[in-house]
Amino acid sequence: MESFKFTKSKIETIPPAPQGKQVEYADTVVNGLRLRVGASGIKSFCVSRKRKGKFIRATLGRFPELTVDNARAKALEVLGEVAITGINPNEAERTKQKLSITLRQALNDYISNRGHRLKEKTAKQYTSTLTNFSGDWLDNQIASITRERVELRHKAITEGTVWFGVDKSTLRSGVGVGSSAQADLWGRALRAVCRFAHDHYRDEEGNTILPDPPTKVLSSKRQWHGLTRKTERIRNHDLGRWLVAVDSVRAKGVDNLDTMAISVCDALKVALFTGLRRSEIFGLKWDRVNLAGRYFWIDKTKNGDPLELPITDTLLEVFRNQLKSRYENSLFVFPNAQGKLRF
């Protein structure tokens, strides 16, 4: 490495580095001050100092915006700090930037990092839930979300006293009015993002830099509502009446040209005789149904596996009825006038 006393005139005469390389020069006045020159001709001041067996490097600024005198003064300041603390100022700045990550950024990074392992529906649900119930937190630093804030917000969502979404009058009944289920859903979404952030954002040594996920308070203080799934079912002796009722509603739908009612009634029968989930039924497309071969299939069930099922006589009648009333060549087996039924 060539060493010389840095001066404005001398630095101006230094040619660009060879293509694809960088050339570094050392100042003879301040030990540790370097000048890096790239192939494009850009010249930058930096400091380089070996401490505890490894080099600590930090960029100071570009020449000529940063003058030689100012570069020397800045180098002495940085080298003094390194000598006392042993901390690379560039690393400290990167850690500081990670600490300033907002909830919005952490949510986006969480969705991006999970990739195909996170279902699109789940990603949308987490995004809308956090936006609707904690829209005022999205641009807060995630490190500033405390246990106390989480506890209070969970309680407010349960009581229906907080909402940052669209006008509630435009939503379906029950959305945004507050409930134990919505509070726990919000808590799970926030917990997923906070756990990811706590593990993902680390300093240069690989140590975590964020405090423990604040959602832990919901577990330690037993704030989760812990709602159980509904266990109500249609008993065997009620099945006959239930089927009559479904057929009655469907008949009225046919008379009134109500595509929604027809689709829902036929979908209910498929659910009864197959045990498929609502999303799997309403997402079923005609190109996944083979009437001639008497089978149909689901590309991806909840556990991620494909599933093929036979078409029994009862199901064949359901599919043929839907085919007769198929709405303008709809792709979906159970559509409404707008295409796919919401679920």
Angle at 102 between CA 99 and CA 106, to 5 degrees: 95
- Which residues of the chain carry a pLDDT beneath 50? 337-338, 343
CA distances from 82 to 12, 25, 91, 235 (A): 29, 21, 12, 75
72: domain range?
2-87
Q: Which SS3 state, helix, strand or coil, does residue 56 take?
A: strand
First to last CA, the chain: 68
The Cα 267–Cα 15 span in angstroms is: 75
**Burial of 24 from C-beta contacts in 10 A (0-12 / 13-18 / 19+):** middle
Residues 78 and 156 in one domain: no
Question: Can you read off the two tokens belonging to residue 44?
Answer: 């930058």
One domain for residues 243 and 318: yes
Residues 69 and 119 in one domain: no
Domain tally, the chain: 3
Last residue of a domain, one of 25, 56, 87: 87
Residue 115 lies in a domain: yes
Q: Looking at residue 29, which CATH number applies to its domain?
A: 3.30.160.390
Query: Quick one: which of 77, 92, 71, 82 has its CA closest to 29?
Result: 71
pLDDT value of residue 337: 46
* 173 belongs to a structural domain: yes
pLDDT at 176: 64
Q: How far apart are CA 281 and CA 247, in angstroms?
A: 18
Token pair listed for 204 = 């240069």
Record the tokens describing residue 47, joined without a space. Answer: 């400091």
pLDDT of amino acid 101: 93
Find the length of the chain.
343
The C-alpha torsion from 255 through 258 and 261 to 262, rounded to 10°, is 70
CA distance 196 to 109: 9
Which of 87, 112, 139 is a domain's end point?
87
DSSP collapsed to 3 states, 23-44: EEEEECCCCCEEEEEECCCCEE
pLDDT at 233: 82
> Same domain for 184 and 276?
no
Q: Is residue 132 assigned to a domain? A: yes
- Return d(Cα 186, Cα 48) in angstroms, integer: 48
* Closest residue by Cα to residue 265 from 246, 244, 242: 246
User: Inter-axis angle of helices 180-200 and 147-159, to 10 degrees?
Assistant: 160
The CATH number of residue 310's host domain is 1.10.443.10
Residues in a beta bridge with 142: none
H helices present in 43-165, as ranges: 68-85, 89-99, 103-114, 120-134, 147-159
Out of 195, 220, 245, a domain closes at 220
Q: Tell me, yes or no, whether 256 and 333 share the same domain.
A: yes
Q: Which two tokens stand for residue 310?
A: 């036979």
Sheet with strand 2-4: strands edge to edge: 2-4, 22-27, 33-38, 43-51, 54-63
Instruction: Output the six-digit token pair for 24.
Output: 């570094």
Query: Residue 206 and residue 106: Cα distance in Å, rounded?
Result: 18
Same domain, 204 and 308: no
Q: Is 168 among the domain residues? A: yes
In the DSSP assignment, the letter for residue 138 is T
What is the chain's Cα-based Rg? Answer: 32
Asked, for residue 93, whether it belongs to a domain, the answer is no
- Confirm whether 225 is domain-assigned: no
Tell me if 42 is assigned to some domain.
Answer: yes
pTM here?
Answer: 0.62
Q: Quick one: pLDDT at residue 175?
A: 63
